[in-house]
């Protein structure tokens, strides 16, 4: 999953780890030599480039960092300005798409003509000052509108997050950083909001070599989990062995969990739940 933020002078890419102590506890019990937590890929783009949002359309969510620190700062006004810019960007995007589809429609194909009618209606909706987040109809898959993406606000300042301080604390060990905080990490809270906005769950693969956390969307299946691990595993999917993370923690091994009847065999359509430990059997 990818989120885009706007605060930097140049584009940067980072991985925001999802706070979760379960994978470490599982690794300790099973004896995994490596621990890999789940993460959200965050691309930090310059604020001066918000009006050129080509890359933003590839994001699953948008994280808007607004100034609440400078004298005279008005975060609410800045947020409204950003929302207006995104509506304008979507309108321009729909206009460009409409021009292309009209040309394609001249060939006589029905699909481009139908899409042109739809885009014309959407364009009227946008020119009326509304966003596509309030559009009730179908959205062409190629559009990827900005205004339909989850938007999370982060205020950089006394009433929100001191981003400079958090960057400094990130250089310290967790124990040292905790001494400077009066509560949980503010950045962890932002990641939690991102996880919730994206509708993510965390599942695990646990073995001697590695204990790893993976993200899936709510409602995704064992086959989706296999695809996330490796396309070959999904292609050769046979079955999925599933244990709840806390059951595996209590049992201490996959074998003991199976002996107690706490390991289930599931097929491709099984809807994976947050905290499942999965082992996909496959044959390519």
Residue 49, pLDDT score? 45
Q: Which domains does the chain have, with CATH numbers?
A: 219-282 (3.10.20.30)
Residue 8, pLDDT score? 44
Residue 162, pLDDT score? 80
Residue 47, pLDDT score? 57
Residue 24, pLDDT score? 97
Residue 10, pLDDT score? 61
What distance in Å separates the CA atoms of residue 79 and residue 83, rounded to the nearest whole number?
6
What would the pLDDT profile of 72-102 be if each residue is shown by its tens digit? 889 889 889 888 888 998 999 999 999 999 9
Q: How does pLDDT run along the chain (284 residues), one tens digit per residue?
A: 555 554 445 667 888 899 999 999 999 999 999 999 999 988 887 654 444 456 678 889 998 888 888 888 898 898 898 888 889 989 999 999 999 999 988 887 888 899 999 999 999 999 988 999 999 888 888 888 999 999 999 888 887 888 778 778 878 887 888 787 777 778 888 899 999 999 999 999 999 999 999 999 999 999 999 999 999 999 999 999 999 999 999 999 999 999 999 999 999 999 999 999 999 999 97
Which two tokens mark 6?
A: 């706007």
61 touches 3 (CB < 8 A): yes
Residue 72, pLDDT score? 87
Which two tokens mark 106?
A: 């001249």
Residue 46, pLDDT score? 67
pTM exceeding the 0.85 threshold for the entire prediction: no
């Amino acid at each position: 999953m990818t989120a885009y933020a706007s605060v930097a002078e140049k584009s940067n890419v980072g991985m925001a780890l999802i706070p979760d102590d379960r994978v470490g506890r599982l690794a300790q019990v099973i004896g995994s030599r490596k621990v890999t937590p789940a993460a959200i890929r965050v691309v930090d783009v310059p604020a001066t480039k918000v009006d050129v949002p080509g890359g933003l359309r590839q994001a699953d969510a948008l994280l808007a960092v607004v100034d609440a620190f400078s004298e005279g700062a008005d975060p609410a006004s800045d947020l409204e300005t950003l929302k207006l810019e995104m509506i304008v960007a979507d309108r321009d995007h729909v206009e460009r798409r409409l021009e292309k589809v009209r040309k394609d429609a001249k060939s006589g194909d029905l699909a481009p003509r139908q899409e042109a009618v739809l885009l014309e209606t959407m364009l009227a909706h946008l020119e009326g000052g509304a966003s596509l987040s309030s559009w009730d109809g179908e959205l062409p898959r190629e559009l990827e509108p900005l205004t339909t993406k989850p938007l999370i606000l982060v205020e950089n300042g006394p009433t929100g997050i001191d981003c400079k301080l958090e960057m400094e604390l990130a250089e310290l060990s967790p124990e040292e950083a905790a001494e400077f905080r009066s509560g949980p990490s503010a950045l962890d809270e932002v990641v939690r909001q991102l996880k919730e906005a994206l509708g993510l769950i965390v599942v695990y693969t646990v073995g001697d070599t590695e204990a790893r956390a993976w993200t899936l969307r709510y409602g995704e299946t064992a086959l989706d989990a296999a695809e996330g691990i490796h396309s070959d595993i999904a292609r050769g999917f046979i079955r999925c062995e599933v244990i709840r993370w806390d059951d595996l923690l209590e049992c201490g091994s996959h074998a003991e969990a199976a002996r107690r009847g706490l390991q289930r065999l599931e097929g491709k359509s099984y809807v994976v739940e947050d905290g499942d430990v999965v082992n996909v059997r496959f044959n390519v």
